[in-house]
Structure 1
Amino acid sequence: MELTKKRKKQLSEFCDRVRISFNNLEHLDQAFHHRSLTNEAHGVKNNERLEFLGDSVLGMVTASYLYTKLDNPEGDLAKIKSVVVSEKALAPVALKFGIDKLLLLGHGEEMSGGRTKPAILADCMEAIIGAYYLEAGYKAAEKYVLSFIAPAVNEVVSNGVKDFKTQLQEKFQKKTKMCPAYELIAKTGPDHDQTFKVSVHLGDKTFGPVSAKSKKEAEQLAAKLALDKYSF
């Protein structure tokens, strides 16, 4: 799949935004290819193998960072690691990085809101890590991973292992004496495979919408997005 000038520009801008570098942008581009695209486009590789690799690199970098920086017992380290590398934690980072705009999806997945599905966003995050590891090696991949994992670890340590809605409510109430307001924007799909689109309002500011397979999960993701972007 030959890259257009527009696509090359988008990928280059992404690299600049997250401070990584690729000599061959086609390698990076593959990280954005969801399997639904390869089901519809003959000969196009998807990002699942890169995701497999990136998941391992992400886990190793995170475990090493936790071991080096914290003196907590193994149980605490495992709990913190599970939070910061989770789908719920990675998906808002992907949105912050603009990954949703670069995803290449099949028509069916596109129509069902796949561009903002947490699982697809988190998988793409891991695929990018895998691609960058192959491109630039472990130390470069480690630096990229720590750019978003280190702040996430610090947040979990300072707040305790609390869910994002709880963290947002505590911070927003402390600042304004008001509560966050969650709004269900849309509910689509059949009963067995629904997608929920939710926004959260902090006073006159709105964050989202974000999509997930349950209303509860969508609210958590909206809360995480607000935590990342609101000035407390």
Structure 2
Amino acid sequence: MKTLSGIIRLLIFSFLILACSHNSKLQRGQFQSREIVNRTTEEMLNHYQNAIYLEGDFQLERLEKDQWSISTGTEDLRHTFLISGFDSPADINMEINSVYYLENGLLLNNNLFLGVEGNIDSRLQKDLEHLTSMNNSIRHHKIGKLVHLWSPGDDPDFKQPTPQELRARINRIDGHDGDCEQGGEGATSCSVTSSTGSGCSVSCGSGYYACCNETAFGPNDCHCHSDTDQNVID
């Protein structure tokens, strides 16, 4: 009996250690997933700017009433996706185990598609049908802006952006007046990658153009600029 009791205590202790270790990893903003590339997706993903397919564990956080962030990390890169400007009230609070990023939309768990309004062309529609195996029950939401941020997974200086920093990235709008390294007036999307391997991309809905700049210090800048110089409606 003493031996059995000792084994049980050891198992409980081991479980607590693993749980604490997992929670510590989540608190540091480092999440585990893996990038999936196979014959059925490789050619498709090459159609899109910085497209990626991830499976694993994700952190979903509501920043404001219709602003969300989805974060994860692989052995190579850490990813954050920012979503805002839903066409209707949306609650996407769910456990996420897979994400397709297709430049102008995110497919979550193969059953919820968040597409940037005005940027969904016939090719994306066709690819979406293929990815979901013609699933007629898939839910659709139109969104106004989609930002993808990435950073090398082994960067010791990397810090998971705070909710305040993420809100600022979603809402940022200023007077570039077309002064963008990538994108500019008339562009619906753009992307920039720095020499350190970090980068960002953005897709902007109707009424905005995409603007991307590499910054000398801190994270790169990818945001949507209003065509009419009015405030962003989120």
* TM-score (structure 1 length as normaliser): 0.26
If each structure's strand is expressed as a fraction of its own residues, which one has the higher value? 2
Q: Which has the higher contact order (CA 8 A, sep 6+)?
A: 1
Which has the higher Rg, Structure 1 or Structure 2?
Answer: 2
If each structure's helix is expressed as a fraction of its own residues, which one has the higher value? 1
